[in-house]
Amino acid sequence: MTKILIIYTGGTIGMVNDAQTGALIPFDFKQIQQNVPELARLNYQLDVHSFDPILDSSNMNPVIWAELAGIIGDSYHDYDGFVILHGSDTMAYTASALSFMLKNLNKPVVLTGSQLPIGEIRTDAKENLITALEIVATKNKGKAMVPEVCIYFDYQLFRGNRAIKYNSEKFEAFLSPNYHILAEAGVNLSFYSNYINPHPLEELRIQSRFNANIGVLKLYPGITPQAVQAITRSSVDAIILETFGSGNTTTASWFIASLQEAIDQDKLIVDISQCQGGSVELGKYETSKRLQQMGIISGFDMTFEATVTKLMYLMGQDLSHAQIAFLMEQSIRGELTS
Ligand code: ASP
């Protein structure tokens, strides 16, 4: 019998109307089978690990990511896979962080949630939960069909470190702008196996140390030296530079000098684009040639969420600056196309 561990962290999905007051209150996922009777028809053994207290996902942080990875690690051999119920707001960050922490994953870890609480009549929660469970249970020649950390939402399965939450109202809340979806749920579940990571040859290894001392500098025309230097002269260890188009910045000499000063103080600088689709191409235009010469790291087509979590993850390992810079530009879990 398929065995799945449901890890309930919180978020809108777990809310029901209180019978007396009508207010939205957290639902007891320990009684999930009574509350979602459709689950019994799946014929899986479902165990539930519920966070206490449950969290709005805006309160997620690297300590909780590590806790999640630990729960998966501790019960890895007891289950066919894992469904994590999570608020949608920071789901793409948690999915990205888990993808980096869980090296050589060969079981599915599917995050899902919903835009409407499970207790609402028009809820999207039941479909998201039921299909996420079916995806986890799907096997190909006895092996998990999707040995990856993914997000399932509104009939689509995304690679976790490629997804972004782009809409706060639509049921279709997520997008994967630079990578094909992994599966789609229609009348049948269709898997796009060419895009799914292969099964690893080695055993799962969990690395859950992060260094969160990073800063973000989002550029805009007219940005002042004070605004730039508030980040470049701060005590962060690394900076994510959110640039224009294919990785371009102003060529103003004070700006370039501020970046150089940060590099001279051993700060890593990663260039990602403000455009959701497409990739950074350092050196394509005059306005990014200088950045390339200075040793600024290309984030290629990584999402902001993947860049933040990958940088924190790599900086948390015992790696030299040169190794971090090298790995930031490589795909380590399918998070970028270089
Ligand atoms: N604020 C909620 C959360 O991210 C929204 C949701 O569950 O979708 O926890």
Instruction: Tell whether ligand 1 has an atom less than 6 A from the beta carbon of residue 89.
Output: yes
What tens digit of pLDDT does each residue of 141-150 get? Answer: 999 999 999 9
Q: State the closest ligand 1 atom to the C-alpha of 89, by its place in the atom list counted from 1.
A: 4
Please tell me whether residue 119 adopts helix, strand or coil conformation.
Answer: coil
Q: What's the CA gap between 82 and 133, in Å, rounded?
A: 8
pLDDT of residue 289: 86
Record the tokens describing residue 152, joined without a space. Answer: 């399932």
For a ligand 1 pocket test, name from 8, 56, 61, 152 the mutation site with the most ligand atoms within 8 angstroms of its C-beta.
56
Q: What percent of the chain has pLDDT over 70?
A: 98
Strand duo 45-50 + 3-8: pairing: parallel
CB of 13 within 8 A of CB of 48? no
pLDDT at 267 over 90: yes
* Ligand 1 centre distance from Cα of residue 17 (Å): 17
Give Dmax over CA atoms of the chain in angstroms. 66
DSSP H or E run through 74: helix 62-74
Q: What would the two tokens of residue 96 be?
A: 């990205």
CB 183 within 8 A of CB 135: yes
Amino acid at 99: S
Q: Determine the atom of ligand 1 nearest the C-alpha atom of 10.
A: 9
* Atom number, ligand 1, closest to the C-alpha of residue 115: 8
What pLDDT does residue 185 have?
97
Poorest-pLDDT segment among 14-18, 240-244, 276-280: 14-18
104: phi > 0 → left, psi -120 to 50 → alpha, else beta; which?
Answer: left
Distance from Cα 14 to the centre of ligand 1, integer Å:
10
pLDDT of residue 12: 87
Question: Which sequence positions are flagged as catalytic?
Answer: 12
Instruction: Work out the average pLDDT over 85-109.
Output: 97
Q: What is the C-alpha to C-alpha distance for residues 112 and 45, in angstroms, rounded to an integer?
A: 19
H/E stretch holding 93 reads: helix 91-101
Mean pLDDT of the 62-78 span: 98
Ligand 1 centroid–CA 321 distance in Å is 36
- Return the best residue to mutate from 89, 114, 124, 167 for the ligand 1 pocket (most ligand atoms within 8 A of CB): 89
Q: 179: how many CB neighbours lie within 10 A of its CB?
A: 18
Residue 120: what pLDDT?
82
Shortest CA distance to 149 belongs to which of 202, 206, 188? 206
* Ligand 1 lined by 88 (C-beta under 6 Å): yes
| Among 110, 118, 6, residue whose Cα is nearest residue 51 | 6
For tokens 């970028």, what's the residue? 336
CB-count burial class (<10 Å; 0-12, 13-18, 19+) for 149: buried
Are residues 334 and 197 in contact, defined by beta-carbon separation less than 8 angstroms? yes
Predicted pLDDT of residue 228: 98
- The model's pLDDT over 159-175, given as tens digits with 9 standing for 90+, comes to 999 999 999 999 999 99
Cβ atoms within 10 A of the Cβ of 21, count? 8
Cβ distance 172 to 184 under 8 Å?
no
Ligand 1 neighbourhood includes 57 CB (under 6 angstroms): yes
Residue 288: pLDDT above 90?
no
Q: What is the pLDDT of residue 314?
A: 98
**Domains, the chain, ordered by start:** 2-206 (3.40.50.1170), 214-328 (3.40.50.40)
State if residue 106 touches ligand 1 by the CB under 6 angstroms criterion: no
Quick one: the chain helix, strand, coil %, rounded to 5? 35, 20, 45
- Residue found under tokens 């196996």: 193
pLDDT score of 100: 98
User: Under a CB-based contact definition with an 8 Å cutoff, are residues 9 and 87 in contact?
Assistant: yes
**Which tokens is 34 given?**
């009574």
CB 6 within 8 Å of CB 113: no
176-193 pLDDT tens trace? 999 999 999 999 999 999
pLDDT of residue 31: 66
* pLDDT at site 286: 80
Mean pLDDT score of the chain:
94
Measured CA to CA, the distance from residue 249 to residue 288 in angstroms comes to 7
